[in-house]
């Protein structure tokens, strides 16, 4: 029913409009956006889903961040158009993009969101991983893309240093 594809440059503003529709006004004031400013989303992990009429039904992007000096994916924004919510599209976009992240060599993923939704994808509260206030610590969630990837990883979530690759950071 939906066609999932890599987001292209031509999709950018349509995806932004979908996020504006799905999130509360002022979404870009959230601290997670300060971790994204001036940094490109992770290549190969931004997806769009279109219905048979080519109308954008959902989208997901991921950004690179560092936690305790270790690379991590910051999942989001992810949004599904209100007319298509509850049809499994959010799950499809999350699972497909995280499978790609694992293939690309990413080991851990985090987000700021509702545990009751994200627990089904293996996310749980990240103890000791901090986002700038006023983020509720109970909404800072993480999942392993390889077993034990979050063990011993804690500290503030920091911006990705531009021009460095995950391999350089983990080495």
Q: How far apart are CA 21 and CA 42, in angstroms?
A: 23
Q: How far apart are CA 98 and CA 89, in angstroms?
A: 14
- Least distance (Å) from ligand COA to the CB of residue 93? 8
Instruction: Out of 42, 45, 67, 79, point to the residue binding ligand COA (CB under 6 A).
Output: 79
Q: Note whether 15 and 56 are within 8 A (CB).
A: yes
- Least distance (Å) from ligand COA to the CB of residue 79? 4
Please choose, out of 3-11, 61-69, 87-95, 145-153, the segment that lies near ligand COA by the rule CB under 6 A. 87-95
Q: Between 122 and 148, whose beta carbon lies closer to ligand COA?
A: 122
Q: Between 92 and 169, whose beta carbon lies closer to ligand COA?
A: 92
CB atoms within 10 A of CB 70: 18
Phi then psi for residue 16, to 5 deg, are -60, -40
Question: Which residue's C-beta sits nearest to ligand COA?
Answer: 90
Size of site (CB under 6 A) for ligand COA: 17
Please choose, out of 27-35, 111-119, 125-133, 143-151, the segment that lies near ligand COA by the rule CB under 6 A. 111-119
Examine residue 9 and say whether the peptide bond preceding it is cis (omega within 30 degrees of 0). Answer: no
Q: Between 90 and 101, whose beta carbon lies closer to ligand COA?
A: 90
If one asks whether residue 121 binds ligand COA (CB under 6 A), the answer comes out as no
Instruction: Out of 25, 26, 38, 86, point to the residue binding ligand COA (CB under 6 A).
Output: 86
Q: What is the DSSP letter of 134?
A: T
Which residues does 105 contact at the CB level (< 8 Å), separation at least 6? 166, 167
Q: In 2-60, which residue ranges form alpha helices assigned H by DSSP?
A: 12-22, 31-34
Residues in contact with ligand COA by CB under 6 A are 22-23, 76, 78-80, 85-91, 113-114, 116-117
């Amino acid at each position: 029913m939906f066609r999932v594809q890599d987001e292209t440059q031509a999709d950018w503003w349509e995806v932004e409009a979908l996020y504006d529709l799905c999130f509360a006004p002022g979404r870009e004031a959230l601290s997670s956006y300060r971790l994204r400013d001036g940094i490109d989303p992770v290549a190969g992990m931004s997806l769009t889903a279109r219905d048979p009429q080519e109308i954008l039904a959902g989208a997901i992007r991921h950004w690179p961040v560092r936690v305790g000096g270790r690379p991590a994916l910051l999942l989001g924004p992810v949004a599904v158009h209100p007319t298509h919510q509850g049809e499994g599209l959010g799950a499809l976009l999350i699972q497909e993009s995280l499978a790609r992240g694992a293939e690309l060599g990413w080991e851990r993923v985090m987000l700021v969101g509702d545990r009751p939704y994200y627990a089904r994808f293996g996310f749980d509260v990240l103890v000791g991983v901090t986002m700038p206030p006023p983020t509720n610590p109970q909404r800072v969630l993480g999942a392993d893309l390889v077993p034990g990837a979050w063990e011993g990883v804690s500290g503030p979530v920091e911006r990705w240093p531009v021009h460095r690759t995950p391999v350089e950071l983990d080495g």
